[in-house]
Structure 1
């Protein structure tokens, strides 16, 4: 159970942004969990498997059109987006006696558009947060 204890980890968080959010003013910088924009998006109640979202975010080393559309389809299959959804890569690592956690935006799903993080380096799993 604890064979990976102390190793860095990566997960995904999805946040629902207000519908009037201007995507051109969205910050793509890494933030702490306390600074996340928007509200938590309830993936399980929407019929979305959290592990599927986490696997897309943590295991995609290059965001091809197919990968982007695959992840987007998890959120749009059988439903429409009424508000933008921000998908973030959350990384945690042990630093001294505490766990440092940062969240970096990866994708913004708008009702009719998908935006990738503008920095190619930030789109890769190996990129530092």
Structure 2
């Protein structure tokens, strides 16, 4: 039986915390489960915590990029957090790029990045005003 990676909903985002050694089968199951969860919840962002991942091979590296592509198809941004230096080095040595994937040191910063991206997408600044330079009242 393939171990499943839990996918948790936190507000408008999903948190995927990989705490197992990913086999090819569990990586494919994660892709399928995540696509279903994004579709079912309408989440606008995904944080993937890989702090427990010690080793990646080319398949697992490509899986991270594929997950980001799948998320984009569902209009959700992806942030990978907790990448160990050895994992980053391996990805570079394998020639794998995580195009379109933001990275952050920890889950808190990853969630913050997704909130900022959501606000930009909705055209709002940090204080809730329209990004065009003022409130609706000021534009009248």
What is the TM-score when the length of structure 1 is the normalising length? 0.29
Highest RCO, 1 vs 2 (Cα 8 Å, sep ≥ 6): 1
What is the TM-score when the length of structure 2 is the normalising length? 0.27
> Larger % of strand: which?
1
Rg bigger for which structure? 2
> Larger % of helix: which?
2
